[in-house]
Amino acid sequence: MAPAAQNFMRLFRGSSSGSEQNPSTHDLRLTRRSSGLVEVSKLLPSEQPLCILDLGSTSAANIRYFTEGGHKIYSEDILVASSDSSLAIVDEEGKPTLDSKRFLSENLTYPAAHFDIVFCWNLPDYLDESLVKPVVGRLWTVLKPGGLLLAFFHTREAGPDAPCFRYHIVSNDTLEMHPIEPRREIRRGPTGAVHTASGERFRLQRVFNNRHIENLFRDFASIKFFLSRDNVREVLAVR
Amino acid sequence: METPKTTEYALIGRSVIIKGELTGSEDLYIDGQVEGSIELQGNNLTVGPNGQVKASVNAKGVVVQGKLEGNVKASERAELRKSAVAIGDIATQRLAIEDGAYFKGRVDIQREAGKFDAKAAK
């Protein structure tokens, strides 16, 4: 078995990697310790309520975690928003791309310097190429000076079929990971017949190396890397 | 969820489209289309699975199974069921979100007036 596939299987078997599988459920549930989350959590016992942006799919756990601490949380699923087929355009060279200007006019529309913390999770790895830099640029704008952005990047060893996970905060250092399933859409056609369409699974778009990551966050004041054994690099960027 | 009996709720059925301000002093179940504002202070709102609401909402409890676009103030509780699509800010005392629900907006948990709030006391 190729090394990348071995790592992928180890991720689900939960051995000495950074993730552990919960054996008591049939659903695939993994937990992982997050050094980046430990750093971010140091901000949470704050006198003033923090303003937090969660860019993953809706997570009741994350909303509960932060609201119980008295903080305000905003939730926005950027990956789902980016899969809107009406964003598809053709660039000057005739290549298919996404309309990043229109995307940013409809998403991430917040005042400047609004957030203390942004959870990007694995968004840059799975987002369409044409949206990555514009989205990071917008996140820089909406973060307060000194605000934190946490993002996860796969390493090359993760392999091209690395599943897209949703991260749910369990404690100040632990995340539970659920694979994101395609959303089933049920539509009624013009004749009244019911059609069920299954959306596509999100696929890993690219693997960033350290230089790519540094370039992506070059407008930020500092970035810190945390490398874990489950082939994920955590990056904490300070605005 | 079954459509409730009309004696328990005021019902806006699937084929009904309303634009304007809705106010009431009883529970309301919407399975049609409503655009505007909904004022049900002291009563509950349910957006059924076929409901499409584009309105600001002020109610005691809010349950969303369909689509709700607008800011929600639920003085007691808000629930997003797994088929819910909710876009807008939610201010409530308690919020329950089922797996599969889609939510885009801000959550503001407001403690009941009179209860001790550690942050406010400092």
For A146-192, write each residue's pLDDT tens digit: 999 999 999 877 777 788 899 999 999 999 998 887 665 544 455 54
Residue of B69, B106, B115 to mutate when probing chain A, most A C-beta within 10 A = B106
Higher pLDDT, A180 or A2: A180
Nearest CA among A196, A173, A230, A222 for reference residue A21: A230
How many CA atoms, within 13 angstroms, populate the side-chain half-sphere of residue B60? 9
Q: Assess if residue B110 is contained within a domain.
A: yes
Mean pLDDT of B79-94: 95
Q: Assess if residue B3 is contained within a domain.
A: no
Q: What is the dihedral of CA B81, B83, B87, B90, to 10 degrees?
A: 0
Task: With a cut of 60, say whether residue A136 has pLDDT above it.
Answer: yes
Q: Assess if residue B88 is contained within a domain.
A: yes
pLDDT at A85: 85
Q: Assess if residue B77 is contained within a domain.
A: yes
The answer to whether residue B106 neighbours chain A at the CB level (below 8 Å) is yes
- State the pLDDT confidence band at A196, using cuts at 50, 70 and 90: very low
**Nearest neighbour of A73 by CB, restricted to B98, B107, B118:** B107
Task: With a cut of 90, say whether residue A125 has pLDDT above it.
Answer: yes
Q: Assess if residue B5 is contained within a domain.
A: no
Residue B121 CB partners (closer than 8 Å, separation 6+): none
The answer to whether residue A75 neighbours chain B at the CB level (below 8 Å) is yes
Residue B28 CB partners (closer than 8 Å, separation 6+): B9, B10, B11, B12, B22, B38, B40, B43, B44, B45, B46, B59
Higher pLDDT, A24 or B100: B100
Average pLDDT taken over every residue of chain B: 88
Q: Assess if residue B111 is contained within a domain.
A: yes
Distance (Å, whole) CA B26 – CA B42 = 8
- What are the helix (H) ranges across chain A? 3-13, 35-41, 60-67, 78-82, 100-106, 123-126, 129-142, 210-216
The answer to whether residue A72 neighbours chain B at the CB level (below 8 Å) is yes
State how many domains chain B has: 1
Which is it for the CA torsion A32, A208, A79, A164, positive or negative?
negative
- Decide if B105 contacts B122 (C-beta within 8 A): no
For chain A, what are the domain ranges? 3-238
Q: Assess if residue B60 is contained within a domain.
A: yes
Q: CB B97 to CB A80 under 8 A? A: no
Residue of A57, A58, A166, A180 to mutate when probing chain B, most B C-beta within 10 A = A58
- State the pLDDT confidence band at A93, using cuts at 50, 70 and 90: confident
For A3-55, write each residue's pLDDT tens digit: 444 444 444 444 333 455 444 444 567 899 999 999 999 999 888 899 999 99
Distance (Å, whole) CA B121 – CA A143 = 28
How big is the CA angle at B92 (ends B91 and B93), to the nearest 5 degrees? 145
Q: Which residue has 């905060």 as its token pair?
A: A169
Q: What is the CATH number of domain A3-238?
A: 3.40.50
User: Residues 7..66 of A with a Cβ closer than 8 Å to B: which?
Assistant: 47, 49, 57-58, 60, 63-64
Beta pairing, strands B17-23 & B33-47:
parallel
- Decide if B3 contacts B31 (C-beta within 8 A): yes
Q: CB B102 to CB A47 under 8 A? A: no
pLDDT at A92: 85
Distance (Å, whole) CA A187 – CA A148 = 40
Q: Is the pTM of this model over 0.80?
A: yes
Residue in chain A closest to B93 (alpha carbons) equals A67
Print the domain residue range for B26: 10-121
